[in-house]
Amino acid sequence: MPSDRSTPTTSTPAAASWPAVGSPVRALLDEDARVAACGRDPERLAKAAARLGAGPDRLFTGTCDVRDADAVRHFTQAAAQHFGGLDGLVNNAGQSRMKRLDDTTAEDWRDELELKFAGVLNPLKAARSHLRASETAAVVNVNAVLDRQPETRLITTSAARAGILNLSKSLSVELAAQGIRVNSVCLGLIDTGQWTRRHAAADSGLGYEEWQAELAADRGVALGWLGRAEEVAYAIVALLSPRASYITGTSIDVCGGVGRGIL
Protein backbone atom coordinates (compact mmCIF):
# COMPACT_ATOMS: atom_id res chain seq x y z
CA MET A 1 0.00 0.00 0.00
CA PRO A 2 1.19 3.57 -0.43
CA SER A 3 3.49 4.59 2.39
CA ASP A 4 2.42 7.28 4.84
CA ARG A 5 4.81 9.63 3.01
CA SER A 6 3.04 9.11 -0.31
CA THR A 7 1.32 12.19 -1.68
CA PRO A 8 -0.41 11.35 -4.95
CA THR A 9 -2.02 14.29 -6.69
CA THR A 10 -5.40 13.96 -8.33
CA SER A 11 -5.91 16.39 -11.20
CA THR A 12 -9.44 17.08 -12.35
CA PRO A 13 -11.43 19.97 -13.82
CA ALA A 14 -14.71 21.00 -12.23
CA ALA A 15 -16.46 19.38 -15.19
CA ALA A 16 -15.73 15.97 -13.68
CA SER A 17 -18.14 14.85 -10.99
CA TRP A 18 -16.88 15.06 -7.44
CA PRO A 19 -17.90 11.47 -6.55
CA ALA A 20 -15.44 10.30 -9.21
CA VAL A 21 -12.75 12.46 -7.66
CA GLY A 22 -13.64 11.92 -4.03
CA SER A 23 -13.48 8.13 -4.14
CA PRO A 24 -9.84 7.82 -5.32
CA VAL A 25 -8.82 10.45 -2.78
CA ARG A 26 -10.80 8.71 -0.03
CA ALA A 27 -9.33 5.33 -0.97
CA LEU A 28 -5.81 6.74 -0.77
CA LEU A 29 -6.54 8.39 2.56
CA ASP A 30 -7.87 5.05 3.80
CA GLU A 31 -4.47 3.57 2.94
CA ASP A 32 -2.75 6.20 5.11
CA ALA A 33 -1.48 8.16 2.10
CA ARG A 34 -1.21 11.91 2.25
CA VAL A 35 -3.00 13.38 -0.74
CA ALA A 36 -3.02 16.62 -2.70
CA ALA A 37 -6.05 17.27 -4.91
CA CYS A 38 -6.97 20.14 -7.20
CA GLY A 39 -10.04 21.40 -9.02
CA ARG A 40 -11.16 24.50 -10.91
CA ASP A 41 -14.13 25.34 -8.70
CA PRO A 42 -12.99 26.42 -5.20
CA GLU A 43 -16.46 26.02 -3.70
CA ARG A 44 -16.91 22.45 -4.92
CA LEU A 45 -13.33 21.68 -3.92
CA ALA A 46 -13.96 22.93 -0.38
CA LYS A 47 -17.19 20.90 -0.11
CA ALA A 48 -15.43 17.74 -1.33
CA ALA A 49 -12.60 18.26 1.16
CA ALA A 50 -15.09 18.79 3.98
CA ARG A 51 -16.88 15.54 3.12
CA LEU A 52 -13.58 13.66 3.26
CA GLY A 53 -12.99 14.93 6.78
CA ALA A 54 -9.18 14.80 6.61
CA GLY A 55 -7.02 17.43 8.28
CA PRO A 56 -4.31 19.48 6.54
CA ASP A 57 -1.68 16.95 7.63
CA ARG A 58 -3.39 14.39 5.37
CA LEU A 59 -5.12 16.39 2.64
CA PHE A 60 -3.88 19.42 0.71
CA THR A 61 -6.16 21.11 -1.82
CA GLY A 62 -5.73 23.91 -4.31
CA THR A 63 -7.62 25.59 -7.12
CA CYS A 64 -6.08 24.73 -10.46
CA ASP A 65 -6.99 24.12 -14.12
CA VAL A 66 -4.81 21.33 -15.51
CA ARG A 67 -4.74 23.05 -18.91
CA ASP A 68 -2.85 25.95 -17.32
CA ALA A 69 0.78 24.85 -17.05
CA ASP A 70 1.74 27.68 -14.69
CA ALA A 71 -1.16 26.97 -12.35
CA VAL A 72 -0.30 23.26 -12.31
CA ARG A 73 3.33 24.03 -11.53
CA HIS A 74 2.41 26.33 -8.64
CA PHE A 75 -0.04 23.80 -7.19
CA THR A 76 2.44 20.92 -7.48
CA GLN A 77 5.26 22.89 -5.89
CA ALA A 78 2.98 23.91 -3.03
CA ALA A 79 1.86 20.29 -2.51
CA ALA A 80 5.43 18.98 -2.55
CA GLN A 81 6.52 21.64 -0.08
CA HIS A 82 3.53 20.94 2.16
CA PHE A 83 4.24 17.20 2.36
CA GLY A 84 7.99 17.13 1.78
CA GLY A 85 7.85 15.35 -1.56
CA LEU A 86 5.63 13.44 -3.97
CA ASP A 87 5.54 9.69 -4.61
CA GLY A 88 2.63 9.38 -7.01
CA LEU A 89 0.55 11.23 -9.56
CA VAL A 90 -3.01 10.49 -10.67
CA ASN A 91 -4.12 12.26 -13.84
CA ASN A 92 -7.90 12.25 -13.69
CA ALA A 93 -9.04 15.15 -15.87
CA GLY A 94 -11.66 14.16 -18.40
CA GLN A 95 -14.97 14.60 -20.11
CA SER A 96 -17.05 12.83 -22.74
CA ARG A 97 -18.28 14.70 -25.80
CA MET A 98 -21.40 13.09 -27.26
CA LYS A 99 -21.00 14.13 -30.90
CA ARG A 100 -20.65 12.39 -34.23
CA LEU A 101 -18.33 13.54 -36.99
CA ASP A 102 -20.81 15.84 -38.75
CA ASP A 103 -21.70 17.51 -35.44
CA THR A 104 -18.16 18.38 -34.43
CA THR A 105 -16.33 21.63 -35.04
CA ALA A 106 -12.64 22.44 -35.15
CA GLU A 107 -13.07 23.96 -31.69
CA ASP A 108 -14.51 20.66 -30.40
CA TRP A 109 -11.40 18.84 -31.57
CA ARG A 110 -9.02 21.41 -30.11
CA ASP A 111 -10.83 21.48 -26.77
CA GLU A 112 -10.96 17.70 -26.50
CA LEU A 113 -7.32 17.13 -27.39
CA GLU A 114 -6.10 20.01 -25.22
CA LEU A 115 -7.88 18.74 -22.12
CA LYS A 116 -6.82 15.12 -22.54
CA PHE A 117 -3.17 15.78 -23.35
CA ALA A 118 -2.60 18.83 -21.13
CA GLY A 119 -4.29 16.91 -18.32
CA VAL A 120 -1.46 14.36 -18.46
CA LEU A 121 1.54 16.35 -19.67
CA ASN A 122 1.21 19.47 -17.50
CA PRO A 123 0.95 17.59 -14.17
CA LEU A 124 3.69 15.16 -15.20
CA LYS A 125 6.05 17.96 -16.16
CA ALA A 126 5.37 19.71 -12.85
CA ALA A 127 5.76 16.57 -10.73
CA ARG A 128 8.59 14.85 -12.57
CA SER A 129 11.52 16.14 -10.52
CA HIS A 130 9.72 15.23 -7.30
CA LEU A 131 8.88 11.76 -8.60
CA ARG A 132 12.51 11.15 -9.60
CA ALA A 133 13.47 11.75 -5.97
CA SER A 134 11.04 9.09 -4.74
CA GLU A 135 11.86 5.40 -4.34
CA THR A 136 8.27 4.42 -5.16
CA ALA A 137 7.34 6.80 -7.98
CA ALA A 138 4.21 5.92 -9.94
CA VAL A 139 1.88 7.67 -12.38
CA VAL A 140 -1.66 6.50 -13.10
CA ASN A 141 -3.49 7.99 -16.07
CA VAL A 142 -7.25 7.59 -15.83
CA ASN A 143 -8.41 6.78 -19.35
CA ALA A 144 -11.41 4.99 -20.90
CA VAL A 145 -12.06 1.76 -22.78
CA LEU A 146 -12.81 4.00 -25.76
CA ASP A 147 -9.04 3.99 -26.22
CA ARG A 148 -9.32 0.57 -27.93
CA GLN A 149 -13.07 0.47 -28.61
CA PRO A 150 -13.98 3.72 -30.38
CA GLU A 151 -17.57 4.86 -30.73
CA THR A 152 -18.67 7.06 -33.62
CA ARG A 153 -21.07 8.94 -31.32
CA LEU A 154 -18.04 9.91 -29.22
CA ILE A 155 -15.64 10.48 -32.07
CA THR A 156 -13.47 13.24 -30.58
CA THR A 157 -13.30 11.61 -27.16
CA SER A 158 -12.48 8.20 -28.65
CA ALA A 159 -9.64 9.63 -30.70
CA ALA A 160 -8.22 11.53 -27.75
CA ARG A 161 -8.46 8.49 -25.49
CA ALA A 162 -6.54 6.39 -28.01
CA GLY A 163 -3.84 9.05 -28.07
CA ILE A 164 -3.54 8.97 -24.27
CA LEU A 165 -3.15 5.18 -24.33
CA ASN A 166 -0.32 5.56 -26.83
CA LEU A 167 1.23 8.40 -24.82
CA SER A 168 1.04 6.41 -21.59
CA LYS A 169 2.93 3.51 -23.16
CA SER A 170 5.61 5.86 -24.49
CA LEU A 171 5.95 7.55 -21.10
CA SER A 172 6.34 4.19 -19.36
CA VAL A 173 9.36 3.43 -21.55
CA GLU A 174 10.80 6.94 -21.42
CA LEU A 175 10.57 7.26 -17.63
CA ALA A 176 11.48 3.72 -16.59
CA ALA A 177 15.19 4.55 -16.28
CA GLN A 178 14.24 7.36 -13.89
CA GLY A 179 12.40 4.92 -11.63
CA ILE A 180 8.94 6.21 -12.55
CA ARG A 181 6.26 3.66 -13.40
CA VAL A 182 3.38 4.72 -15.69
CA ASN A 183 0.13 2.78 -16.00
CA SER A 184 -3.48 3.41 -16.97
CA VAL A 185 -6.91 2.63 -15.57
CA CYS A 186 -9.46 2.52 -18.38
CA LEU A 187 -13.07 3.14 -17.46
CA GLY A 188 -16.28 1.85 -18.91
CA LEU A 189 -19.62 3.29 -17.81
CA ILE A 190 -19.13 4.69 -14.30
CA ASP A 191 -22.02 6.17 -12.35
CA THR A 192 -20.99 9.82 -12.06
CA GLY A 193 -22.69 13.17 -12.36
CA GLN A 194 -22.55 13.18 -16.14
CA TRP A 195 -24.91 10.19 -16.25
CA THR A 196 -27.40 11.69 -13.82
CA ARG A 197 -27.41 14.82 -16.00
CA ARG A 198 -27.95 12.75 -19.14
CA HIS A 199 -30.77 10.84 -17.44
CA ALA A 200 -32.47 14.13 -16.60
CA ALA A 201 -31.95 15.45 -20.12
CA ALA A 202 -33.29 12.24 -21.70
CA ASP A 203 -36.69 12.73 -20.01
CA SER A 204 -37.40 9.06 -20.73
CA GLY A 205 -39.93 8.55 -17.96
CA LEU A 206 -37.75 5.81 -16.49
CA GLY A 207 -36.33 5.85 -12.98
CA TYR A 208 -32.60 6.25 -12.78
CA GLU A 209 -31.86 2.60 -11.94
CA GLU A 210 -34.08 1.33 -14.76
CA TRP A 211 -32.55 3.85 -17.16
CA GLN A 212 -29.08 2.69 -16.08
CA ALA A 213 -29.96 -0.93 -16.75
CA GLU A 214 -31.19 -0.09 -20.26
CA LEU A 215 -28.06 1.95 -20.87
CA ALA A 216 -25.83 -0.91 -19.70
CA ALA A 217 -27.65 -3.36 -21.99
CA ASP A 218 -27.37 -0.98 -24.95
CA ARG A 219 -23.62 -0.54 -24.38
CA GLY A 220 -22.95 -4.26 -23.92
CA VAL A 221 -21.96 -4.18 -20.24
CA ALA A 222 -21.77 -7.87 -19.32
CA LEU A 223 -22.44 -7.29 -15.61
CA GLY A 224 -25.53 -5.25 -16.43
CA TRP A 225 -24.95 -2.11 -14.39
CA LEU A 226 -22.85 1.02 -14.24
CA GLY A 227 -19.69 0.87 -12.17
CA ARG A 228 -19.09 2.87 -9.00
CA ALA A 229 -16.36 5.42 -8.45
CA GLU A 230 -14.90 3.40 -5.59
CA GLU A 231 -14.44 0.44 -7.95
CA VAL A 232 -12.21 2.67 -10.06
CA ALA A 233 -10.40 3.87 -6.94
CA TYR A 234 -9.32 0.36 -5.97
CA ALA A 235 -7.51 -0.10 -9.28
CA ILE A 236 -5.81 3.30 -8.97
CA VAL A 237 -4.59 2.54 -5.45
CA ALA A 238 -3.28 -0.86 -6.53
CA LEU A 239 -1.20 0.61 -9.36
CA LEU A 240 0.19 3.35 -7.12
CA SER A 241 1.21 0.85 -4.47
CA PRO A 242 4.87 -0.18 -4.12
CA ARG A 243 3.53 -3.73 -4.28
CA ALA A 244 3.00 -3.06 -8.00
CA SER A 245 6.69 -2.20 -8.40
CA TYR A 246 7.14 -4.51 -11.43
CA ILE A 247 4.07 -3.24 -13.28
CA THR A 248 4.52 -0.47 -15.82
CA GLY A 249 3.27 0.29 -19.32
CA THR A 250 0.02 -1.58 -18.81
CA SER A 251 -3.65 -0.75 -18.37
CA ILE A 252 -6.47 -2.17 -16.29
CA ASP A 253 -10.02 -2.03 -17.64
CA VAL A 254 -12.69 -1.23 -15.05
CA CYS A 255 -15.68 -1.65 -17.30
CA GLY A 256 -18.02 -4.45 -16.18
CA GLY A 257 -17.02 -6.65 -19.10
CA VAL A 258 -17.57 -4.27 -22.01
CA GLY A 259 -15.70 -5.62 -24.99
CA ARG A 260 -16.06 -5.97 -28.72
CA GLY A 261 -13.04 -8.19 -29.21
CA ILE A 262 -10.09 -9.91 -27.59
CA LEU A 263 -7.48 -7.26 -26.88
Tell me the pLDDT of the chain (263 aa) as tens digits. Answer: 333 434 444 433 222 223 334 588 999 999 999 999 999 999 999 998 999 999 999 999 999 999 999 999 999 999 999 999 999 999 998 778 889 999 999 999 999 999 999 999 999 999 999 999 999 999 999 999 999 999 899 999 999 999 999 999 999 999 999 999 999 999 999 988 778 888 898 888 899 999 999 999 988 999 998 999 899 999 999 999 999 999 999 999 999 998 765 55
**Would you say residue 262 lies in a domain?**
no
Number of separate domains in the chain: 2
Please indicate, yes or no, whether residues 119 and 198 belong to a single structural domain of this protein.
no
Residues 6+ apart with CB under 8 A from 4: 32, 33, 34
Contact 127, 180 (CB under 8 A): no
Domain with 200 in it = 191-225
Please indicate, yes or no, whether residues 221 and 234 belong to a single structural domain of this protein.
no
**Would you say residue 181 lies in a domain?**
yes
What pTM was estimated for this model as a whole? 0.87
Please indicate, yes or no, whether residues 208 and 240 belong to a single structural domain of this protein.
no
DSSP element (H, E) containing 200: helix 193-202
Question: The CATH number of the domain where 104 resides is what?
Answer: 3.40.50.720
**Would you say residue 132 lies in a domain?**
yes
Round to whole Å and give the CA distance between 187 and 229.
Answer: 10
Please indicate, yes or no, whether residues 45 and 129 belong to a single structural domain of this protein.
yes
β-strands 181-187, 9-11: how paired? unpaired
**Would you say residue 8 lies in a domain?**
no
**Would you say residue 207 lies in a domain?**
yes
